[in-house]
C-alpha cells in the first residue's frame, strides 16, 4: 500500500470502517443490479463497482458544511456522504419517499441535508455548478470546500475546461476529483483524449494536481487529505485524478463489446476491496469474524432499504407539475 | 413579498426618495443600468457576471461605470465561457447568492443552453423541491443594428418553451427599470430579453420608478376593432401601426405581453373577445414560434368570439442578413402590421 509519508493515523477501527464502507457500496450496487433485473429499478442504472475506493477515500474527509457535486454514477458518493441508503434506494424505485421525492431516479440523487447537489446526468454539466457553489462561498468568505466528481469522459467537454479556468482565475475552493475509469461509456480514453495523462491538464490552468492509484483506498485517502487541506488553506482549486476501473457495464444496456473480458478480470484482481482486505489480513489487522460482521450489518441495512423502498408510495399524478416552480409563484 | 408589491425595504427607499418622483429624461440603457445599480445597493447578495460587463462597461454599455462603484468582485468580468459562467450563476444561486448573468446576445446564449435548460430549469423539480435556482439571466435580442446572422435573432420564444423558467421582454423604460428587481425576488430562474434597438430609446421616467409586477400583459393602447398582440422591440412598430390604422378610422388595441412565460391568457382573451379580431406580431420566426402558441391559445379559448382567422406578422424564415434593406425586410414593420390588421378586418391587405 502507500508509502508512510502521507499516511494518516491508521487505527484498526478506521481501517475496518473503510473496508465496511467499500463493501457497503459494493453490496448496495449488487442489490441494485438484482432489483433492476426484477424491474423494481428502471431507466438507466450506472453502477460504481470497482470505484469504491474513490468515494470511500475522499468523502469522509469533507466537513458537513462542505459541498458535493456528483454525476449519474453517484450511488457510492451519496452513501458515503450520508444520504440514507433507504432514501437513495426509494429514489431509484421512483417512490416519493426517495431522496429526490422520486422525481429523479438513479441518476439524480439530491440531498439538501448533506449538501449533496446531485446526481447530474449531463457529462461535465456539474462542473460549472461546482464553480458557482464555490464562488458563493468565496464571495461570502466562507471557508467551505466544494468537491466535484466527474469521469474521464467529462474531460473532453468544453465545460470541463471552462470550469477549471474559472476556478483558477477566480481563486475558488473547488476540489476537482476525476474518476478516471478509462472509458467514456464505451470509448477508451486513448480514443477520446490527445493527452491521456489527465491530471496534466490541470497544469495548463495553473491548478495543483496529482494522480493517485484509485484502487488503493489508503492512497486515495492520503491524497485527498492533502488536497482538501490545500483547498481549505489556500482557497484555490486542486485537481485529483483517481485512476480506477469500472467492473460492471456502463449501464444495464451495455453489452461491453469495447473491452476484453480478460481486461476486466485483470482489473478485478486489483479491486479496491480485495486489495485492502488482503492487506489487512496480511498484517493481521482483520479477522474472519470482522468480515462476517461487516457483511451481516451491510446485508441488514440493504434489507431494510429494500423493505423501505418496497413500502414506499407513488406520488399522486395530481402533483406532477408541483415544484416546476416554487409553490405559490407560478 | 408578493409579486408587484413593494417590500418593506422598497417602501422605505421609496419614502426616502419621495422627492425624486419628478420625471427625468433617460434612455432604456440607462433604465437597465439604474435597475442593476439599485439591486446592487439593496441586496449584497446581488452581483453581475458576464463578458465585458466590468472594465469595458458592457457590450451595449449597460453596465458602464458600475465596476468603479461596486468593484470587480460584484461586477465580475467573465471569460468567453458562456456555459461555464452561466452554470456558475446556477451554483451561486443555489448557494444563496442572487446572481445576474449577462449573456452578450441571445445567439451566444446557445452556448449556455445546457446550463439553462438541463440545470437551471430542471433542478427544483428533479430534486423534489430541494434546490431552487433564483438566477436572473439578461441578454440582448433582436435585429436592426446590421449585426447579421449570428447576432440578430430573436430566440426568446424558444426559451418560453421551457417549463421551470420565466421569460420577460421589457419594451418600455418603466419595465426596463422595474422588472429586474422583481425578477431577483423570484425563487426561480428568470430570463430577461432586451431588444437591441431599444437601448438608445429615450423617454421620461420618474426618478424613483421602482419594481413592477412581471406576470401580466399590458394594454398599451386601447381600441375596439382589432387586437395587436406583441412584445419587446416590436411594440413600438405596433404602436406606429396603430396610429396609421387610426388615420383610417380603425381602432387597434395594442397588447404588450411583457412576459412570454407565463403568458397572460386572461388579458389576451379579454381583448380578443372584445375586438373579435387578432394579429400577433413577433420578431421570432413563424414556424413553431411563440406566435403560434398565442394563436393556438386564442383559438382554444376564444374560437367562438372570433369574426376572422387571427393573423401573424413574424420574421421571414431565413437567417437575418447584413444589408439594411434585407434586414428590415426580414423583420416585422409597421406597414406589414397595418396590412395584416386590415386583412383581419376584411379590408384588403
Residue A25 lies in a domain: yes
pLDDT of B136 reads 98
pLDDT band of A61, cuts 50, 70, 90: very high
pLDDT of A3 reads 43
pLDDT of A7 reads 52
The DSSP result for A38-72, as a single string, is TTSS-S-----TT-HHHHHHHGGGS-TTSEEEEES
Residue A321 lies in a domain: no
Secondary structure element (H or E) that encloses residue A120, with its range = strand A116-120
Q: Check CB contact of A141 with chain B, cutoff 8 Å.
A: no
Secondary structure element (H or E) that encloses residue B35, with its range = helix B28-42
Spans of chain B, pLDDT less than 70: 1-20, 349
Burial pattern B149-172, b for ≥16 Cβ within 10 A else e, equals eebbbbbbbbbbebebbbbbbbbb
Residue A125 is nearest to which of B88, B94, B114, comparing CB atoms? B114
Calculate the alpha carbon distances from B234 to A318, B51, B276, B310, B327 in Å: 39, 27, 22, 18, 14
Q: Check CB contact of A116 with chain B, cutoff 8 Å.
A: no
Contact assessment for residue B143 and residue B319, using Cβ atoms and an 8 Å cutoff: no
Tell me the C-alpha distance between B59 and B233, whole Å: 18
pLDDT of A216 reads 98
Answer whether residue A210 shows pLDDT above 90. yes
Active site residue B151: yes
pLDDT of A8 reads 55
Contact assessment for residue B345 and residue B277, using Cβ atoms and an 8 Å cutoff: yes
- Positive/negative CA dihedral, B72, A205, B116, A175: negative
Tell me the C-alpha distance between A291 and B32, whole Å: 66
Tell me the C-alpha distance between B233 and A300, whole Å: 64
B44, B103, B128, B166: best to mutate for the A interface, most A CBs within 10 A: B128
Q: Which of residues 82-101 of A touch B (CB under 8 A)?
A: 96, 98-101
> What 8-state DSSP symbol labels residue B132?
-
Q: At what angle do helices A12-37 and A272-282 cross, to 10 degrees?
A: 150
- In angstroms, the separation between the Cα of residue B187 and the nearest Cα of chain A is 6
Q: Dig out the grid coordinates for B98 from the structure.
A: 442572487
Contact assessment for residue B331 and residue B144, using Cβ atoms and an 8 Å cutoff: yes
pLDDT of B280-299, one tens digit each? 999 999 999 999 999 999 99
Q: Dig out the grid coordinates for B33 from the structure.
A: 443600468
Tell me the C-alpha distance between B130 and B128, whole Å: 6
Average pLDDT, chain A: 95
Tell me the C-alpha distance between A156 and B57, whole Å: 33
pLDDT of B5 reads 47
Q: How many CB pairs under 8 A join A and B?
A: 157
pLDDT band of A328, cuts 50, 70, 90: confident
**For chain A, what is the domain count?**
1
Secondary structure element (H or E) that encloses residue B140, with its range = strand B136-141
**Class of residue A264 by CB neighbours under 10 A (exposed 0-12, middle 13-18, buried 19+):** middle
Domains and CATH numbers, chain B: 8-206 (3.40.50.970), 218-344 (3.40.50.920)
pLDDT of B1 reads 34
Inter-chain contact A129–B94, Cβ cutoff 8 Å? Answer: yes
Residue A237 lies in a domain: yes
Where would I find the H helices in chain A? 12-37, 52-58, 75-81, 85-93, 126-139, 158-169, 189-192, 199-203, 217-234, 261-268, 272-282, 288-311
Distance of CA B282 to the CA centre of its chain: 12
Task: Tell me which residue has cell 412565460.
Answer: B261
Q: Check CB contact of A168 with chain B, cutoff 8 Å.
A: no
Low-confidence winner among A171-175, A247-251, B27-31, B298-302 (lowest mean pLDDT) = A247-251
pLDDT band of A112, cuts 50, 70, 90: very high
- In angstroms, the separation between the Cα of residue B126 and the nearest Cα of chain A is 5
B46, B95, B161: best to mutate for the A interface, most A CBs within 10 A: B95
Inter-chain contact A100–B126, Cβ cutoff 8 Å? Answer: yes
> For residue A26, what are the domain limits?
12-307
Q: Residue B311: helix, strand or coil by DSSP?
A: strand
Tell me the C-alpha distance between A183 and A258, whole Å: 9
pLDDT of B77-106, one tens digit each? 999 999 999 999 999 999 999 999 999 999
Contact assessment for residue A43 and residue A106, using Cβ atoms and an 8 Å cutoff: yes
Calculate the alpha carbon distances from B340 to B230, B297, B344, B346 in Å: 13, 19, 6, 10
Please tell me which residue in B82, B156, B253, B293 is annotated as part of the active site: B82
**Class of residue B18 by CB neighbours under 10 A (exposed 0-12, middle 13-18, buried 19+):** exposed
Residue A65 lies in a domain: yes
Answer whether residue A252 shows pLDDT above 90. no
Residue A7 lies in a domain: no
* CATH number of the domain within which A140 lies: 3.40.50.970
Inter-chain contact A110–B125, Cβ cutoff 8 Å? Answer: no
Q: Check CB contact of A131 with chain B, cutoff 8 Å.
A: yes
Tell me the C-alpha distance between A68 and A118, whole Å: 8
Secondary structure element (H or E) that encloses residue B75, with its range = strand B75-77
pLDDT of B139-181, one tens digit each? 999 999 999 999 999 999 999 999 999 999 999 999 999 999 9
The DSSP result for B278-289, as a single string, is EEEEEEEESTTS
Residue B88 is nearest to which of A67, A112, A166, comparing CB atoms? A166
Secondary structure element (H or E) that encloses residue B100, with its range = strand B98-105
Please tell me which residue in B30, B51, B102, B151 is annotated as part of the active site: B151
Residue A330 lies in a domain: no
Q: Which residue of A has its CA nearest to B127?
A: A100
pLDDT of B207 reads 87
A131 vs B contacts (CB less than 8 Å): 84, 87-88, 91
The DSSP result for A197-246, as a single string, is -THHHHHTTT-EEEEEETT-HHHHHHHHHHHHHHHHHH---EEEEEE---
- In angstroms, the separation between the Cα of residue B21 and the nearest Cα of chain A is 30
pLDDT of B59 reads 94
- In angstroms, the separation between the Cα of residue B91 and the nearest Cα of chain A is 4
> What 8-state DSSP symbol labels residue A314?
P
Residue A294 lies in a domain: yes
- In angstroms, the separation between the Cα of residue B265 and the nearest Cα of chain A is 13
Q: What is the ipTM of this complex?
A: 0.95
Residue A317 lies in a domain: no
A170 vs B contacts (CB less than 8 Å): 76
Inter-chain contact A131–B114, Cβ cutoff 8 Å? Answer: no
**Class of residue A260 by CB neighbours under 10 A (exposed 0-12, middle 13-18, buried 19+):** exposed
pLDDT of B221 reads 98
Amino acid at each position: 500500500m502507500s508509502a508512510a509519508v502521507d499516511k494518516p493515523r491508521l487505527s484498526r477501527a478506521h481501517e475496518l470502517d473503510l473496508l465496511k464502507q467499500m463493501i457497503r457500496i459494493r453490496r448496495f450496487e449488487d442489490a441494485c443490479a438484482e432489483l433492476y433485473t426484477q424491474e423494481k429499478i428502471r431507466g438507466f442504472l450506472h453502477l460504481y463497482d470497482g470505484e469504491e475506493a474513490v468515494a470511500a477515500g475522499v468523502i469522509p474527509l469533507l466537513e458537513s458544511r462542505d459541498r458535493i457535486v456528483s454525476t449519474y454514477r453517484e450511488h457510492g458518493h451519496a452513501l458515503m456522504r450520508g444520504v440514507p441508503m433507504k432514501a437513495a434506494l426509494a429514489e431509484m424505485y421512483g417512490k416519493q419517499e426517495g431522496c429526490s421525492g422520486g422525481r429523479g431516479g438513479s441518476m439524480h440523487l439530491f440531498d439538501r441535508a448533506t449538501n449533496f447537489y446531485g446526481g447530474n446526468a449531463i457529462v461535465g454539466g456539474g462542473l460549472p455548478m461546482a464553480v458557482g457553489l464555490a464562488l458563493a462561498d468565496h464571495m461570502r468568505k466562507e471557508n467551505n470546500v466544494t468537491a466535484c466528481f466527474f469521469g474521464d469522459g467529462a474531460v473532453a467537454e468544453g465545460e470541463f475546461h471552462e470550469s477549471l479556468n474559472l476556478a483558477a482565475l477566480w481563486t475558488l475552493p473547488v476540489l476537482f476529483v476525476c474518476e478516471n475509469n478509462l472509458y467514456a461509456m464505451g470509448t477508451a480514453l486513448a480514443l477520446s483524449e490527445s493527452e491521456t495523462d489527465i491530471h496534466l491538464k490541470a497544469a495548463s490552468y495553473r491548478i495543483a494536481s496529482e494522480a493517485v492509484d484509485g484502487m488503493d483506498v489508503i492512497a486515495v485517502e492520503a491524497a485527498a487529505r492533502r488536497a482538501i487541506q490545500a483547498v481549505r488553506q489556500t482557497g484555490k482549486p486542486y485537481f485529483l485524478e483517481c485512476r480506477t476501473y469500472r467492473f460492471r457495464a456502463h449501464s444495464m444496456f451495455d453489452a461491453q463489446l469495447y473491452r476484453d473480458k480478460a481486461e476486466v478480470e485483470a482489473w478485478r484482481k486489483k479491486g479496491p476491496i480485495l486489495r485492502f482486505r488482503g492487506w489487512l489480513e496480511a498484517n493481521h489487522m482483520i479477522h474472519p469474524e470482522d468480515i462476517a460482521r461487516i457483511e451481516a450489518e451491510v446485508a441488514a441495512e440493504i434489507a431494510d432499504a429494500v423493505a423501505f423502498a418496497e413500502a414506499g408510495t407513488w406520488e399522486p399524478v395530481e402533483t406532477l407539475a408541483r415544484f416546476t416552480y416554487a409553490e405559490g409563484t407560478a | 413579498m408578493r409579486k408587484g408589491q413593494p417590500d418593506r425595504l422598497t417602501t422605505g427607499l421609496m419614502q426616502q426618495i419621495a422627492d425624486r418622483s419628478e420625471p427625468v429624461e433617460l434612455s432604456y440603457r440607462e433604465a437597465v443600468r439604474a435597475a442593476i445599480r439599485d439591486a446592487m445597493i439593496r441586496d449584497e447578495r446581488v452581483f453581475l457576471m458576464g463578458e465585458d460587463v466590468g472594465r469595458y462597461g458592457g457590450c451595449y454599455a449597460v453596465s458602464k461605470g458600475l465596476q468603479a462603484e461596486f468593484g470587480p468582485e460584484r461586477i465580475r468580468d467573465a471569460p468567453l465561457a458562456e456555459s461555464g459562467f452561466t452554470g456558475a450563476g446556477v451554483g451561486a444561486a443555489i448557494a444563496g447568492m442572487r446572481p445576474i448573468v449577462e449573456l452578450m446576445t441571445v445567439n451566444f446564449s446557445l452556448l449556455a443552453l445546457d446550463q439553462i435548460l438541463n440545470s437551471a430549469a430542471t433542478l427544483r423539480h428533479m430534486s423534489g423541491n430541494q434546490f431552487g435556482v433564483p438566477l436572473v439571466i439578461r441578454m440582448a435580442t433582436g435585429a436592426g443594428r446590421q449585426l447579421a446572422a449570428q447576432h440578430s435573432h430573436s430566440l426568446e420564444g424558444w426559451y418560453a418553451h421551457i417549463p421551470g423558467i420565466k421569460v420577460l421582454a421589457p419594451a418600455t423604460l418603466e419595465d426596463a427599470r422595474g422588472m429586474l428587481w422583481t425578477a431577483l425576488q423570484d425563487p426561480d430562474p428568470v430570463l430577461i430579453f432586451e431588444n437591441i434597438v431599444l437601448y438608445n430609446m429615450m423617454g421620461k421616467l420618474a426618478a424613483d420608478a421602482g419594481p413592477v409586477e412581471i406576470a401580466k400583459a399590458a394594454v398599451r393602447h386601447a381600441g375596439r376593432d382589432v387586437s395587436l398582440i406583441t412584445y419587446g422591440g416590436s411594440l413600438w412598430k405596433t404602436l406606429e401601426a396603430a396610429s396609421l390604422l387610426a388615420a383610417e378610422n380603425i381602432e387597434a388595441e395594442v397588447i404588450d405581453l411583457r412576459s412570454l412565460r407565463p403568458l397572460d391568457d386572461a388579458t389576451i382573451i379579454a381583448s380578443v373577445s372584445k375586438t373579435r379580431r387578432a394579429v400577433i406580431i413577433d420578431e421570432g420566426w413563424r414556424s413553431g414560434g411563440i406566435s403560434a402558441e398565442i394563436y393556438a391559445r386564442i383559438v382554444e379559448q376564444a374560437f367562438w368570439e372570433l369574426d376572422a382567422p387571427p393573423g401573424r406578422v413574424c420574421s421571414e424564415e431565413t437567417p437575418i442578413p447584413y444589408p439594411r434593406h434585407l434586414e428590415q425586410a426580414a423583420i416585422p414593420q409597421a406597414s406589414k402590421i397595418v396590412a395584416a390588421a386590415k386583412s383581419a378586418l376584411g379590408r384588403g391587405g
